[in-house]
Protein backbone atom coordinates (compact mmCIF):
# COMPACT_ATOMS: atom_id res chain seq x y z
CA UNK A 1 0.00 0.00 0.00
CA UNK A 2 2.72 2.38 1.09
CA UNK A 3 4.60 1.73 -2.09
CA UNK A 4 1.62 2.48 -4.24
CA UNK A 5 1.18 5.84 -2.51
CA UNK A 6 4.85 6.71 -2.98
CA UNK A 7 4.66 5.76 -6.63
CA UNK A 8 1.50 7.79 -7.09
CA UNK A 9 3.15 10.77 -5.43
CA UNK A 10 6.24 10.48 -7.60
CA UNK A 11 4.08 10.19 -10.69
CA UNK A 12 2.07 13.26 -9.77
CA UNK A 13 5.28 15.26 -9.29
CA UNK A 14 6.55 14.19 -12.67
CA UNK A 15 3.20 14.87 -14.27
CA UNK A 16 3.04 18.50 -13.07
CA UNK A 17 4.07 20.34 -16.24
CA UNK A 18 4.69 23.73 -14.64
CA UNK A 19 7.05 22.34 -12.04
CA UNK A 20 10.14 24.53 -12.01
CA UNK A 21 9.09 26.42 -15.10
CA UNK A 22 7.09 29.15 -13.46
CA UNK A 23 7.78 32.36 -11.61
CA UNK A 24 5.72 32.81 -8.44
CA UNK A 25 4.91 36.34 -7.41
CA UNK A 26 3.27 36.99 -4.07
CA UNK A 27 1.21 40.16 -4.20
CA UNK A 28 0.10 41.67 -0.89
CA UNK A 29 -2.65 44.28 -0.93
CA UNK A 30 -5.92 45.15 0.83
CA UNK A 31 -8.82 43.04 -0.43
CA UNK A 32 -11.24 43.51 2.46
CA UNK A 33 -12.44 46.53 4.51
CA UNK A 34 -13.30 49.87 2.92
CA UNK A 35 -9.79 50.07 1.46
CA UNK A 36 -10.48 47.00 -0.71
CA UNK A 37 -11.31 49.36 -3.58
CA UNK A 38 -7.61 50.21 -3.83
CA UNK A 39 -6.55 46.56 -3.62
CA UNK A 40 -9.04 45.65 -6.33
CA UNK A 41 -7.62 48.33 -8.61
CA UNK A 42 -4.10 46.97 -8.09
CA UNK A 43 -5.28 43.40 -8.63
CA UNK A 44 -7.00 44.44 -11.87
CA UNK A 45 -3.77 46.08 -13.07
CA UNK A 46 -1.68 43.02 -12.26
CA UNK A 47 -4.16 40.75 -14.06
CA UNK A 48 -4.08 43.08 -17.07
CA UNK A 49 -0.27 43.07 -17.06
CA UNK A 50 -0.20 39.25 -17.03
CA UNK A 51 -2.71 39.24 -19.88
CA UNK A 52 -0.59 41.74 -21.82
CA UNK A 53 2.49 39.53 -21.47
CA UNK A 54 0.53 36.44 -22.53
CA UNK A 55 0.96 34.85 -19.12
CA UNK A 56 4.73 34.52 -19.65
CA UNK A 57 7.83 36.25 -18.37
CA UNK A 58 10.55 34.99 -20.67
CA UNK A 59 9.98 31.21 -20.79
CA UNK A 60 8.45 31.11 -17.31
CA UNK A 61 4.73 30.91 -16.66
CA UNK A 62 3.50 33.68 -14.39
CA UNK A 63 1.75 32.60 -11.22
CA UNK A 64 0.51 35.50 -9.08
CA UNK A 65 -0.68 34.62 -5.58
CA UNK A 66 -2.64 37.41 -3.86
CA UNK A 67 -2.55 38.04 -0.14
CA UNK A 68 -4.98 40.24 1.80
CA UNK A 69 -3.46 42.44 4.51
CA UNK A 70 -6.88 43.49 5.88
CA UNK A 71 -5.48 47.06 6.26
CA UNK A 72 -3.57 45.83 9.34
CA UNK A 73 0.21 45.53 9.87
CA UNK A 74 -0.07 42.25 11.80
CA UNK A 75 -2.23 40.61 9.13
CA UNK A 76 0.11 41.90 6.42
CA UNK A 77 3.05 40.27 8.15
CA UNK A 78 1.16 36.98 8.54
CA UNK A 79 0.19 36.85 4.89
CA UNK A 80 3.74 37.72 3.84
CA UNK A 81 5.05 34.90 6.03
CA UNK A 82 2.58 32.55 4.38
CA UNK A 83 3.62 33.63 0.86
CA UNK A 84 7.31 33.26 1.66
CA UNK A 85 7.24 30.03 3.65
CA UNK A 86 4.26 28.07 2.38
CA UNK A 87 4.07 29.21 -1.25
CA UNK A 88 7.82 29.84 -1.52
CA UNK A 89 7.30 32.72 -3.98
CA UNK A 90 10.20 34.17 -5.98
CA UNK A 91 9.15 37.80 -5.57
CA UNK A 92 7.00 39.61 -3.01
CA UNK A 93 5.29 42.70 -4.39
CA UNK A 94 2.40 45.04 -3.60
CA UNK A 95 1.81 46.94 -0.31
CA UNK A 96 -0.45 49.98 -0.28
CA UNK A 97 0.26 51.01 3.30
CA UNK A 98 3.56 52.10 4.81
CA UNK A 99 2.84 50.66 8.26
CA UNK A 100 1.94 47.31 6.69
CA UNK A 101 5.12 47.30 4.59
CA UNK A 102 7.28 48.23 7.58
CA UNK A 103 5.81 45.32 9.55
CA UNK A 104 6.18 42.84 6.68
CA UNK A 105 9.58 43.77 5.23
CA UNK A 106 11.63 41.49 7.48
CA UNK A 107 9.53 38.43 6.60
CA UNK A 108 10.35 38.84 2.91
CA UNK A 109 13.92 40.15 3.14
CA UNK A 110 15.17 37.71 5.81
CA UNK A 111 14.02 34.86 3.58
CA UNK A 112 16.19 36.29 0.79
CA UNK A 113 13.24 37.27 -1.41
CA UNK A 114 13.21 40.31 -3.67
CA UNK A 115 10.61 42.76 -2.35
CA UNK A 116 8.97 45.35 -4.62
CA UNK A 117 6.70 48.03 -3.18
CA UNK A 118 4.11 49.15 -5.70
CA UNK A 119 2.91 52.00 -3.51
CA UNK A 120 4.12 52.46 0.08
CA UNK A 121 7.39 54.40 0.37
CA UNK A 122 8.18 54.84 4.07
CA UNK A 123 11.13 57.12 4.83
CA UNK A 124 12.80 54.43 6.98
CA UNK A 125 13.11 52.05 4.01
CA UNK A 126 14.60 54.75 1.82
CA UNK A 127 17.17 55.61 4.50
CA UNK A 128 18.57 53.42 7.31
CA UNK A 129 16.48 50.37 6.48
CA UNK A 130 17.20 50.33 2.74
CA UNK A 131 18.06 46.89 1.41
CA UNK A 132 19.72 45.53 -1.70
CA UNK A 133 16.66 43.29 -2.21
CA UNK A 134 14.06 46.02 -1.78
CA UNK A 135 12.87 48.06 -4.78
CA UNK A 136 10.07 50.56 -5.33
CA UNK A 137 7.96 51.23 -8.43
CA UNK A 138 6.29 54.18 -6.72
CA UNK A 139 8.01 56.97 -4.77
CA UNK A 140 9.27 57.79 -1.33
CA UNK A 141 6.39 59.21 0.76
CA UNK A 142 7.94 62.66 1.21
CA UNK A 143 8.29 63.34 -2.51
CA UNK A 144 4.72 63.94 -3.68
CA UNK A 145 4.00 66.48 -0.92
CA UNK A 146 7.43 68.05 -1.60
CA UNK A 147 6.23 68.70 -5.13
CA UNK A 148 3.02 70.17 -3.70
CA UNK A 149 5.11 72.42 -1.43
CA UNK A 150 6.87 73.79 -4.52
CA UNK A 151 3.51 74.42 -6.20
CA UNK A 152 2.31 76.31 -3.11
CA UNK A 153 5.46 78.47 -3.11
CA UNK A 154 4.90 79.30 -6.78
CA UNK A 155 1.31 80.27 -5.99
CA UNK A 156 2.53 82.50 -3.15
CA UNK A 157 0.59 80.70 -0.41
CA UNK A 158 1.96 81.96 2.91
CA UNK A 159 0.17 79.90 5.55
CA UNK A 160 -1.32 76.40 5.66
CA UNK A 161 -3.42 74.19 7.88
CA UNK A 162 -2.40 70.53 7.61
CA UNK A 163 -4.46 67.36 8.09
CA UNK A 164 -3.26 63.77 7.63
CA UNK A 165 -3.89 60.31 9.08
CA UNK A 166 -1.78 59.37 12.08
CA UNK A 167 0.46 56.59 10.69
CA UNK A 168 3.89 56.21 9.09
CA UNK A 169 2.96 57.66 5.68
CA UNK A 170 0.87 60.50 7.15
CA UNK A 171 3.90 61.67 9.12
CA UNK A 172 6.17 61.35 6.05
CA UNK A 173 3.71 63.36 3.96
CA UNK A 174 3.69 66.22 6.45
CA UNK A 175 7.50 66.07 6.75
CA UNK A 176 7.79 66.19 2.95
CA UNK A 177 5.58 69.26 2.72
CA UNK A 178 7.60 70.99 5.45
CA UNK A 179 10.81 70.34 3.48
CA UNK A 180 9.82 72.54 0.56
CA UNK A 181 6.96 74.78 1.74
CA UNK A 182 8.40 78.18 2.64
CA UNK A 183 5.34 79.62 4.44
CA UNK A 184 4.18 78.82 7.96
CA UNK A 185 2.06 75.88 9.08
CA UNK A 186 -0.43 77.38 11.52
CA UNK A 187 -2.03 74.14 12.65
CA UNK A 188 -1.78 70.41 12.21
CA UNK A 189 -4.12 67.50 12.91
CA UNK A 190 -3.16 63.83 12.74
CA UNK A 191 -6.33 61.72 12.78
CA UNK A 192 -6.93 58.08 13.71
CA UNK A 193 -6.16 55.61 10.91
CA UNK A 194 -6.51 51.91 10.11
CA UNK A 195 -9.51 49.62 9.73
CA UNK A 196 -11.34 51.80 12.28
CA UNK A 197 -10.14 55.11 10.86
CA UNK A 198 -11.81 58.37 11.79
CA UNK A 199 -13.96 59.48 8.84
CA UNK A 200 -15.89 62.36 10.38
CA UNK A 201 -13.68 65.45 10.27
CA UNK A 202 -16.09 68.03 11.68
CA UNK A 203 -13.85 69.01 14.60
CA UNK A 204 -10.71 69.31 12.46
CA UNK A 205 -12.43 71.27 9.68
CA UNK A 206 -13.86 73.73 12.20
CA UNK A 207 -10.37 74.25 13.61
CA UNK A 208 -8.87 74.68 10.15
CA UNK A 209 -11.48 77.28 9.29
CA UNK A 210 -10.85 79.20 12.51
CA UNK A 211 -7.07 79.07 12.02
CA UNK A 212 -7.09 81.84 9.42
CA UNK A 213 -4.74 79.87 7.15
CA UNK A 214 -4.60 80.67 3.44
CA UNK A 215 -4.94 77.04 2.43
CA UNK A 216 -5.61 73.52 3.63
CA UNK A 217 -3.20 70.67 2.83
CA UNK A 218 -4.47 67.12 3.23
CA UNK A 219 -3.46 63.53 2.60
CA UNK A 220 -6.47 61.16 2.76
CA UNK A 221 -6.06 58.09 0.54
CA UNK A 222 -8.70 55.46 -0.27
CA UNK A 223 -12.17 55.53 1.24
CA UNK A 224 -11.28 58.52 3.42
CA UNK A 225 -10.77 60.62 0.27
CA UNK A 226 -14.43 60.70 -0.73
CA UNK A 227 -15.53 61.30 2.84
CA UNK A 228 -13.07 64.14 3.33
CA UNK A 229 -13.85 65.84 0.02
CA UNK A 230 -17.59 65.76 0.70
CA UNK A 231 -17.25 67.23 4.17
CA UNK A 232 -14.86 69.90 2.98
CA UNK A 233 -17.46 71.10 0.49
CA UNK A 234 -20.40 70.63 2.89
CA UNK A 235 -18.58 72.87 5.36
CA UNK A 236 -18.47 75.58 2.68
CA UNK A 237 -14.70 75.93 2.77
CA UNK A 238 -14.11 75.95 -0.97
CA UNK A 239 -13.91 79.74 -1.24
CA UNK A 240 -12.49 80.43 2.22
CA UNK A 241 -9.80 77.79 2.53
CA UNK A 242 -8.55 76.42 -0.84
CA UNK A 243 -7.72 72.73 -0.77
CA UNK A 244 -4.29 71.34 -1.76
CA UNK A 245 -4.14 67.56 -1.54
CA UNK A 246 -1.93 64.58 -2.32
CA UNK A 247 -3.22 61.02 -2.95
CA UNK A 248 -6.75 62.16 -2.09
CA UNK A 249 -8.43 63.05 -5.37
CA UNK A 250 -7.55 60.14 -7.67
CA UNK A 251 -8.85 57.45 -10.00
CA UNK A 252 -10.38 55.74 -6.96
CA UNK A 253 -12.42 58.62 -5.56
CA UNK A 254 -13.33 60.49 -8.78
CA UNK A 255 -15.91 58.01 -10.16
CA UNK A 256 -17.73 58.00 -6.81
CA UNK A 257 -17.63 61.78 -6.50
CA UNK A 258 -18.93 62.08 -10.05
CA UNK A 259 -21.76 59.64 -9.40
CA UNK A 260 -22.79 61.69 -6.39
CA UNK A 261 -22.68 64.85 -8.55
CA UNK A 262 -19.89 66.52 -6.63
CA UNK A 263 -18.63 68.95 -9.27
CA UNK A 264 -16.81 71.14 -6.74
CA UNK A 265 -13.84 68.83 -7.25
CA UNK A 266 -13.36 69.72 -10.94
CA UNK A 267 -10.37 71.98 -11.45
CA UNK A 268 -8.57 70.95 -8.26
CA UNK A 269 -4.80 70.42 -8.53
CA UNK A 270 -2.74 67.52 -7.26
CA UNK A 271 0.84 66.31 -7.66
CA UNK A 272 1.86 62.82 -8.81
CA UNK A 273 4.61 60.90 -10.61
CA UNK A 274 2.16 59.44 -13.14
CA UNK A 275 -1.02 60.49 -14.93
CA UNK A 276 -3.38 58.70 -17.36
CA UNK A 277 -2.71 61.48 -19.90
CA UNK A 278 1.09 60.95 -20.01
CA UNK A 279 2.05 60.58 -23.64
CA UNK A 280 3.96 57.34 -24.15
CA UNK A 281 3.08 54.12 -25.94
CA UNK A 282 3.10 51.89 -22.83
CA UNK A 283 0.82 54.26 -20.94
CA UNK A 284 -1.63 54.66 -23.82
CA UNK A 285 -2.00 50.92 -24.15
CA UNK A 286 -2.33 50.48 -20.38
CA UNK A 287 -4.96 53.19 -19.93
CA UNK A 288 -6.99 52.21 -23.01
CA UNK A 289 -7.05 48.50 -22.20
CA UNK A 290 -7.71 49.09 -18.51
CA UNK A 291 -10.68 51.28 -19.38
CA UNK A 292 -11.95 48.76 -21.90
CA UNK A 293 -11.66 45.86 -19.46
CA UNK A 294 -12.78 47.42 -16.18
CA UNK A 295 -14.76 50.50 -17.25
CA UNK A 296 -12.86 53.10 -15.23
CA UNK A 297 -9.60 55.00 -15.48
CA UNK A 298 -6.74 53.23 -13.69
CA UNK A 299 -5.47 54.90 -10.53
CA UNK A 300 -1.80 55.55 -9.80
CA UNK A 301 -1.94 52.44 -7.57
CA UNK A 302 -2.85 50.45 -10.67
CA UNK A 303 -0.13 52.10 -12.79
CA UNK A 304 2.59 51.30 -10.24
CA UNK A 305 1.41 47.68 -9.91
CA UNK A 306 1.32 47.26 -13.68
CA UNK A 307 4.86 48.64 -13.82
CA UNK A 308 6.09 46.21 -11.15
CA UNK A 309 5.00 43.25 -13.27
CA UNK A 310 6.86 44.51 -16.32
CA UNK A 311 9.90 45.36 -14.18
CA UNK A 312 10.03 41.74 -12.97
CA UNK A 313 9.52 40.52 -16.55
CA UNK A 314 12.44 42.64 -17.79
CA UNK A 315 14.70 41.18 -15.12
CA UNK A 316 13.68 37.58 -15.85
CA UNK A 317 14.31 38.08 -19.55
CA UNK A 318 17.71 39.68 -18.84
CA UNK A 319 18.87 36.64 -16.85
CA UNK A 320 17.35 34.12 -19.26
CA UNK A 321 14.91 32.83 -16.66
CA UNK A 322 17.66 31.79 -14.23
CA UNK A 323 16.31 33.02 -10.89
CA UNK A 324 19.03 31.25 -8.91
CA UNK A 325 21.53 33.94 -9.87
CA UNK A 326 20.11 36.62 -7.60
CA UNK A 327 22.95 39.10 -8.16
CA UNK A 328 22.12 39.18 -11.84
CA UNK A 329 18.38 39.48 -11.16
CA UNK A 330 19.02 42.43 -8.84
CA UNK A 331 21.28 44.15 -11.35
CA UNK A 332 18.65 43.69 -14.05
CA UNK A 333 15.92 45.19 -11.88
CA UNK A 334 18.15 48.11 -10.94
CA UNK A 335 18.69 48.86 -14.64
CA UNK A 336 14.92 49.59 -14.92
CA UNK A 337 15.19 48.53 -18.54
CA UNK A 338 11.47 48.34 -19.36
CA UNK A 339 8.74 50.59 -20.74
CA UNK A 340 7.31 52.14 -17.58
CA UNK A 341 3.92 53.79 -18.00
CA UNK A 342 5.36 56.93 -16.40
CA UNK A 343 8.14 57.06 -19.01
CA UNK A 344 11.76 56.15 -18.43
CA UNK A 345 13.20 56.49 -14.94
CA UNK A 346 16.34 55.29 -13.14
CA UNK A 347 17.01 53.82 -9.71
CA UNK A 348 18.96 55.69 -7.04
CA UNK A 349 21.39 54.06 -4.61
CA UNK A 350 18.49 53.18 -2.26
CA UNK A 351 16.51 51.50 -5.08
CA UNK A 352 13.84 54.21 -5.17
CA UNK A 353 13.02 55.75 -8.59
CA UNK A 354 14.59 59.01 -9.69
CA UNK A 355 11.71 60.45 -11.67
CA UNK A 356 9.56 63.45 -12.62
CA UNK A 357 6.66 64.78 -10.56
CA UNK A 358 3.77 66.45 -12.33
CA UNK A 359 1.03 68.87 -11.40
CA UNK A 360 -2.30 67.35 -12.49
CA UNK A 361 -5.69 68.97 -12.84
CA UNK A 362 -9.09 67.29 -12.43
CA UNK A 363 -11.04 67.60 -15.70
CA UNK A 364 -13.90 65.91 -17.54
CA UNK A 365 -12.74 63.86 -20.54
CA UNK A 366 -14.35 63.79 -24.00
CA UNK A 367 -16.98 61.30 -22.76
CA UNK A 368 -17.73 63.40 -19.68
CA UNK A 369 -15.92 61.06 -17.27
CA UNK A 370 -13.89 62.79 -14.58
CA UNK A 371 -10.15 62.21 -14.73
CA UNK A 372 -6.92 64.16 -14.47
CA UNK A 373 -4.50 65.59 -17.00
CA UNK A 374 -0.99 66.87 -16.71
CA UNK A 375 -0.71 70.60 -16.15
CA UNK A 376 3.07 70.97 -15.83
CA UNK A 377 6.26 69.35 -14.53
CA UNK A 378 7.03 70.39 -10.96
CA UNK A 379 10.20 68.43 -10.21
CA UNK A 380 12.41 66.86 -12.85
CA UNK A 381 14.42 63.68 -12.16
CA UNK A 382 13.89 64.12 -8.46
CA UNK A 383 15.58 61.88 -5.91
CA UNK A 384 14.15 61.36 -2.44
CA UNK A 385 15.76 63.18 0.52
CA UNK A 386 16.68 59.99 2.41
CA UNK A 387 18.95 58.46 -0.25
CA UNK A 388 22.08 59.84 1.45
CA UNK A 389 21.21 57.99 4.69
CA UNK A 390 21.13 54.66 2.86
CA UNK A 391 24.41 52.73 3.19
CA UNK A 392 24.00 51.11 -0.25
CA UNK A 393 25.87 52.72 -3.08
- Closer CB to other proteins, residue 74 or residue 110? 74
At closest approach, how far in Å is the CB of 33 from other proteins? 5
- Closer CB to other proteins, residue 163 or residue 359? 163
Please provide the DSSP assignment of 227-290 as one string. HHHHHHHHTT-TTTS-EEESSSSSTTHHHHHHHTT-GGGTT-EEEES--TT--SHHHHHHHHHH
Asked if residue 150 lies in contact with residue 180, where contact means CB atoms within 8 angstroms, the answer is yes
**Measured distance CA(190)–CA(244) in Å, rounded:** 16
Q: Which residues of 157-167 are buried (b: 16+ CB within 10 A; e: fewer)?
A: beebbbbbbeb
Q: Which residues bind other proteins (CB under 8 A)?
A: 31-34, 36-37, 39-40, 166, 186, 188-192, 195-197, 199-200, 202-204, 206-207, 210-212, 223, 226-227, 230-231, 233-236, 255-257, 259-262
At closest approach, how far in Å is the CB of 192 from other proteins? 5
**Measured distance CA(281)–CA(279) in Å, rounded:** 7
Asked if residue 80 lies in contact with residue 56, where contact means CB atoms within 8 angstroms, the answer is no
At closest approach, how far in Å is the CB of 163 from other proteins? 11
Asked if residue 243 lies in contact with residue 218, where contact means CB atoms within 8 angstroms, the answer is yes
**Measured distance CA(376)–CA(369) in Å, rounded:** 21
At closest approach, how far in Å is the CB of 231 from other proteins? 6
The torsion of the CA quartet 150, 383, 96, 29, rounded to 10 degrees, works out to 150
At closest approach, how far in Å is the CB of 189 from other proteins? 8
At closest approach, how far in Å is the CB of 38 from other proteins? 9
At closest approach, how far in Å is the CB of 361 from other proteins? 21
- Closer CB to other proteins, residue 88 or residue 184? 184
- Closer CB to other proteins, residue 126 or residue 227? 227
- Closer CB to other proteins, residue 204 or residue 384? 204
At closest approach, how far in Å is the CB of 175 from other proteins? 11
Share in percent of the chain as helix, strand, coil (round to 5): 40, 20, 35
**Measured distance CA(189)–CA(85) in Å, rounded:** 40
At closest approach, how far in Å is the CB of 100 from other proteins? 16
**Measured distance CA(127)–CA(387) in Å, rounded:** 6
- Closer CB to other proteins, residue 63 or residue 159? 159
- Closer CB to other proteins, residue 198 or residue 326? 198
- Closer CB to other proteins, residue 254 or residue 316? 254
Asked if residue 252 lies in contact with residue 41, where contact means CB atoms within 8 angstroms, the answer is yes
Phi, psi (degrees; rounded to nearest 5) at 285: -65, -45
- Closer CB to other proteins, residue 65 or residue 186? 186
Amino acid sequence: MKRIISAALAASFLAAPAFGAEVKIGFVTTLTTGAAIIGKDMQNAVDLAVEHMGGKMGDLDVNVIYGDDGFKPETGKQVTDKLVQQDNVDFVAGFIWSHVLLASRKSALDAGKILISTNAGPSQMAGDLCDKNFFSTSWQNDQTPMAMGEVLNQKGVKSLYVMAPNYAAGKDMVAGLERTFKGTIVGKDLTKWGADAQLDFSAELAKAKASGAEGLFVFYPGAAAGAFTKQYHQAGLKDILPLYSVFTVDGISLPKLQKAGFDGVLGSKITQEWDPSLDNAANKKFVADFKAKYGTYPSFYAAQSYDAMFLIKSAIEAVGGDLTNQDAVRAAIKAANYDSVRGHYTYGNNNFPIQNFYLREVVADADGNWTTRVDSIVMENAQDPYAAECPLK
